[in-house]
Amino acid sequence: MKIRILSAFAATLFLSAATNFPSSAAPGLSNIERDEIQLGYALVSAEFYKKVEPQTLLDGAHDELVTFLKKSGVKAPNVPVLKATDDAALNIRALEREVSNLVALYGAKLGARELTYQAIAGMLSSVKDKYTTFLTPKEYAQLNEGLDGGNFSGVGITIGVDDTTKMLRVNEVLPGLPADKAGVQPGDLITAIDGKPTKGLTTDDDAKLLRGKEGSVVRVTVERNGASVAPISITRAVIHLPSVYSKMLDGGIGYTRLTVFGSTTATELSQALDRLEAQHAKAYILDLRDNGGGYLNAAIEVSSKFIPSGPIVSVESRAGNNTEYDADATAIPPRPLAVLVNKYTASASEITSGAIQDNGVGELVGEKTYGKGVVQSIHPLPDGSAVKITSARYLTPRGRDINQIGITPDIVTVEPKDSRFGEPAHDPQLQSAITYLQGRIAKLGI
């Protein structure tokens, strides 16, 4: 992505000017830990979309370290307040020495790597932006898995916590995968997994129980339509989660649901649209509900499937540079289009929603979107952790800044708590989109 390459280059230049001092400046820290402190300071200084004062970064690191030490049982942490200078190299060296001293005092119990993480996390949190955060190696791996559908051994369902029963609810069953073959159905309540009740567990807890070694068997207890069914045994297999689901609805309406804007989403969408075109789709529904976003370039590529030409989004950096991204000439033949949105439609999803609305190629149906009009750059660190930094804001083709505002749909339809996405009889927003498209199909005579 162009904007990310330029930002990373700026941080590299900053680093080259800030790190000309001997590695012995911080005994007790490994080269990797020193590098990560330097990178954290340099990246947030160079990339954050607003100017950041050096003292703010040092204070943030100090406060986070103190908080962490107190939570870890240190009653009176010895963490001196650092005084920033105009020399980035001196500031970084001072912070390294601070962390090095803490390693000498508390490292046997807490570890140099964890103290390093806390210092970096404090610098990032000091800018008071909820999207600018430090990611541990585990968190970064989970983020990549969510965006790119990473391979894991599981059963092939998407899940949520049922609002009423607080038990595990099956939202979708991926066709051809273990749960589908075993007879699990969308809407099933899984009351227990290998005998462990799911009531009160989080989706992360449930996912850990459902995943396991390839070829192993997990036994689930299920309620369906209020009645118990025989326990179901599912043999786990390697799963690669798609980000696009599609099917043909009655009346020749092609339905596509995007769960994320990942690295393969545009390709998956193209394949789905080709299948629906081959089935003579007369109109399309693009479902972006509960889609929290992903890659900027994926939003541009997805939008380009429906917008033949013209602007998709404008990205404005801290320096005031405005980069406009246009449709990439890959649009399908024009058809009536409805885009489903809700309060969890965010970021890249809002880029696509705003582009479609501003270009007049489709109607938005549902509820006001989340309102995330800023762009993050993600930078891996040497040990597999990463920093995520808000590096720019974006505007829709008509120049709308939707940050903390959201996008109001053209057809407002409330989403009930028990809505089942993709099932017209249990999904009023989907039914509204179908009604709108039926009217368009009749008017156009297609």
Which of 372, 377, 388, 432 is flagged as catalytic? 372
Per-residue 3-state assignment (H helix, E strand, C coil) for the chain = CHHHHHHHHHHHHHHHHHCCCCHHHCCCCCHHHHHHHHHHHHHHHHHCCCCCCHHHHHHHHHHHHHHHHHHCCCCCCCCCCCCCCCCHHHHHHHHHHHHHHHHHHHHHHHCHHHHHHHHHHHHHHCCCCCCCEEECHHHHHHHHHHHHCCCEEECCEEEEECCCCCCEEEEEECCCCHHHHHCCCCCCEEEEECCEECCCCCHHHHHHHHCCCCCCEEEEEEEECCEEEEEEEEECEEECCCCEEEEEECCCEEEEEECCECCCHHHHHHHHHHHHHHCCCCEEEEECCCCCCECHHHHHHHHCCCCCCCEEEEEEECCCCEEEEECCCCCCCCCCEEEEECCCCCCHHHHHHHHHHHHCCCEEEECCCCCCCEEEEEEECCCCCEEEEEEEEEECCCCCCCCCCCCCCCEECCCCCCCCCCCHHHCHHHHHHHHHHHHHHHHHCC
Cα(381)–Cα(213) distance, integer angstroms = 29
Which of 35, 206, 358, 427 is flagged as catalytic? 358
Indicate if 206 belongs to the active site: no
Indicate if 130 belongs to the active site: no
Buried b (16+ CB within 10 A) or exposed e, 8-19: eebbeebbeebb
Indicate if 372 belongs to the active site: yes
Q: Which residue has the tokens 């545009």?
A: 266
Which of 126, 246, 347, 349 is flagged as catalytic? 347
Q: Which residues are catalytic?
A: 347, 358, 372
